[in-house]
């Protein structure tokens, strides 16, 4: 059993954590927790209000195997929270650190993408919105999530491969079942 902590900011992209959280809980019996910056409920882009289990702070690093940041338009603004210190600590401690969509900006600002293969919504997206980003040589124009070591990144249109890459790191012996999960969700994109 792994422990996954999701970090939500206002307004979070509700579709991005869904497959990962559901598969983690149902298939692997993982412990899933939901965190906000202040411990208060967080509205989604779709109008859902997520109740959270607590506030994000350094103590989460003691009780999590993965720290997963979910996208939000907030990440692109000057009001975006600076999570660099906690993200670097998480990576140093060997946690899986994952960001999807706009949340990849937080990983870029923390310097976690400077020397690793990664993706996002676009290279220009990272260059425009992440001051100090130095990883352009390692950027991958990929429609699927990218994993390098224990860092996982994805565009907002890749929640399924994002889920697979995070779960593969947490459950390395589950290659067959995760392959099946991926094939099942990819069927809708196959020609009729």
pLDDT digits (tens, 9 = 90+) for 67-109: 999 999 999 999 999 999 999 999 999 999 999 999 999 999 9
Q: Which of 30, 13, 22 lies closest to 170 in space, CA to CA?
A: 30
From CA 32, how far away is CA 92, in angstroms rounded? 22
CA proximity to 87, closest of 62, 63, 65, 61: 61
What is the distance between the alpha carbons of residues 68 and 152, in angstroms, rounded to a whole number? 9
Instruction: Look at residue 191 in the predicted model and tell me its pLDDT.
Output: 84
Q: How many CB atoms lie within 10 A of CB 16?
A: 31
In whole angstroms, give the CA distance from residue 7 to residue 35: 5
What distance, in Å, lies between the first and last C-alpha atoms of the chain?
38
Predicted confidence at residue 190, as pLDDT, reads 83
CB atoms within 10 A of CB 141: 9
Give residue 188's pLDDT: 86
List the domains of the chain with CATH numbers: 3-187 (3.40.50.880)
Instruction: Locate the DSSP E strands across 15-113.
Output: 31-36, 42-43, 49-50, 54-55, 66-69, 96-100
Q: Which residues in the chain come in under a pLDDT of 50?
A: none
């Amino acid at each position: 059993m792994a422990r996954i902590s999701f970090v939500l900011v206002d307004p979070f992209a509700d579709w991005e954590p869904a497959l990962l959280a559901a598969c983690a809980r149902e298939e692997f019996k993982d412990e899933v927790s939901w965190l906000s910056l202040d411990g208060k409920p967080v509205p989604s882009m779709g109008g859902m209000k997520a109740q959270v289990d607590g506030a994000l702070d350094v103590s989460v690093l003691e009780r999590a195997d993965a720290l997963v940041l979910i996208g939000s338009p907030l990440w692109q603004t000057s009001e975006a929270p600076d999570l660099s210190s906690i993200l670097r600590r998480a990576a140093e401690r060997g946690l899986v650190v994952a960001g999807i969509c706009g949340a990849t900006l937080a990983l870029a600002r923390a310097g976690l993408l400077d020397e690793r293969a990664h993706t996002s919504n676009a290279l220009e997206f990272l260059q425009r919105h992440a001051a100090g980003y130095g990883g352009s040589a390692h950027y991958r124009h990929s429609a699927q999530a990218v994993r390098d070591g224990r860092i996982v990144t994805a565009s907002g249109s890749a929640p399924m491969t994002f889920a697979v890459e995070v779960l593969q790191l947490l459950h390395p012996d589950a290659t067959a079942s995760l392959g099946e999960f991926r094939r099942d969700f990819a069927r809708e994109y196959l020609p009729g």
